Amino acid sequence: MDNGGQWKRGSSRPRWLLSLLCCCDDLGRSRLLGAPRCLRGPGAGGQKLLQKSRACDPAGPTPSAPAAPAPRLASANHSAPPKLGTKRLPQALIVGVKKGGTRAVLEFIRAHPDVRALGTEPHFFDRNYGRGLDWYRY
């Protein structure tokens, strides 16, 4: 199931990209883009894309003065963080045309610690709808 925090279902390259992620606050809007910050990190996915992002603060956080933790995002239908192993439907979708840059959007948002996202598009609505919502939950 888990591959460094990414879920993979199949390996085919889709014509339409549909990626899933959790990123909404109580108002149904993302707070991920509010405060600019350096997105580079050793474990971050989309390293190539992130390298094109804005330059990091050269000084950066020091071990004696760690950066403030990212704000916890409260979800609209859950008052507490999900238990490990809990499967639920996605709270947000990224929909876009092929070569529209949706992968870049996903990789930037995925860098947030409160976001859990699929590694590949599940194609639920166009190919796997018949599998039902239990299959769609992740």
Ligand X SMILES: Nc1ncnc2c1ncn2[C@@H]1O[C@H](COP(=O)(O)OS(=O)(=O)O)[C@@H](OP(=O)(O)O)[C@H]1O
Can you say which residues are annotated as belonging to the binding site?
99-103
99 binds ligand X per the rule CB under 6 A: yes
Shortest Å distance, C-beta 101 to ligand X: 4
Residue with tokens 């109580």: 26
* CB of residue 46 to ligand X, shortest distance in Å: 10
Q: Which residues face 95 on adjacent strands?
A: 18
Segment interacting with ligand X, rule: CB under 6 A, options 38-46, 94-102, 109-117, 122-130: 94-102
For residue 12, give the nearest of 98, 111, 91 by alpha carbon.
98
What string of DSSP letters covers 48-96? HHHHTSPPPPSS--BTTBPPPPPPPPPBTTBSSPPPTT-----SEEEEE
Among 23, 102, 108, 110, binds ligand X (CB under 6 A): 102
103 binds ligand X (CB under 6 A): yes
Q: Give per-residue burial for 37-56: e unless 16+ CB within 10 Å, then b.
A: ebbeeeeebbeebbeebeee
- The residue at minimum Cβ distance from ligand X is 103
* End-to-end Cα distance, the chain: 9
Q: Which residues are annotated as a binding site for 3'-phosphoadenylyl sulfate?
A: 99-103
**Among the candidate windows 2-10, 39-47, 61-69, 96-104, which touches ligand X by CB under 6 A?**
96-104
Contact window for ligand X (CB under 6 A) among 22-30, 34-42, 72-80, 92-100: 92-100
* Residue 17 engages ligand X in binding (rule: CB under 6 A): yes
Q: Where does this chain bind ligand X (CB under 6 A)?
A: 17, 96, 98-104
Tell me the catalytic residues: 99
